[in-house]
Amino acid sequence: MKLYRVLLLIVFICATLFIGVVGNILANRNQNAYWFAEAQAWRSGGLNNDRLHVNMWGSAECTARARSTELEISFKIFGKPELNEFYEKIIYHGSGNLVRNFKSHYQDNSGEAHVTSTGIYQQVFVLQAVSTDRVGVMPPPPPPPDPIPPLPIEDCPCDTVGIESVNGLYTAKPGESHEACVMTDAPFYEILWYVAAPGETGLGTNIEVDTGDGTTTNASFSYTFPSGAMHIGTYKITAYIYRWNQSAYEESYTVDVALP
């Protein structure tokens, strides 16, 4: 063991007898005099953004008034010692910091981020700021909602992938109702239906949201065009589709609304 570490340990034991154990391992950020420690551990990815990836972050710091500081950050994946990472930095006088990030893709084990900032206070006592944060094992994927009966074929006549008008017409009069149907290329998680009025850019206004059951690939949408001559023009109907794997795409067509 290094002489520096031996002396530091002796002083720390003596200091503990007089001032007690310092630091709080339950806090994500901890300060003790001129020493700081902060640890973060979390998961990301998946439908609820809490599954696929292990993320960790650690920051150990000391201010300009600190003395003989040792900064340490460790990242552990329990059961996977080959993935563990450890960082150390010695600062003999003055301020400094040690900051590190960790990310493990598709790792279902739990883990821990542990940060310590240790130094000599008033040339006698050893003070230490400690922060620890843990991330749990990967939670199971959310179950699909309870199955619902499939839409009757007469309510959604689409028989090929894409979007189309139910009655085959792409013209209408003000005040008339119009029905669209879409067949997705895979079971959908959600479909957001939008209508863009004449002169409106982008997707337009969200009118309806349809939720899938893990198997459904068909959905229909009904919309009544505003009445009155001031509402004539070209309307765009869009189905913005989210698949169960979180990817998305859109299908759309236009309807020309004119006076008879």
For 38-43, what is the mean pLDDT?
95
> Rounded distance, CA 34 to CA 65, Å?
7
> Rounded distance, CA 229 to CA 73, Å?
69
Q: What is the pLDDT of residues 228-257, one digit of tens each?
A: 999 999 999 999 999 998 899 999 999 999
One-character DSSP codes across 19-51: H-----TTSSEEEETTEEEEEEEEEE-TTTTSS
Contact 204, 197 (CB under 8 A): yes
Residue with tokens 């609820």: 48
pLDDT at 30 over 50: yes
Residue 46 is encoded by which pair of tokens? 């998946």
- 0.75 cut: is pTM over it? no
pLDDT at 241: 96
Name the amino acid, one letter, at 232: I
Q: What is the pLDDT of residues 98-143, one digit of tens each?
A: 999 999 888 889 999 999 999 998 888 899 999 999 999 998 887 7
pLDDT at 150: 55
Q: Look at residue 82 and give its three-state secondary structure.
A: helix
- Average pLDDT over the chain, rounded to an integer: 85
Contact 216, 188 (CB under 8 A): yes
For the four alpha carbons of 151, 161, 249 and 106, in that order, the dihedral sign comes to positive
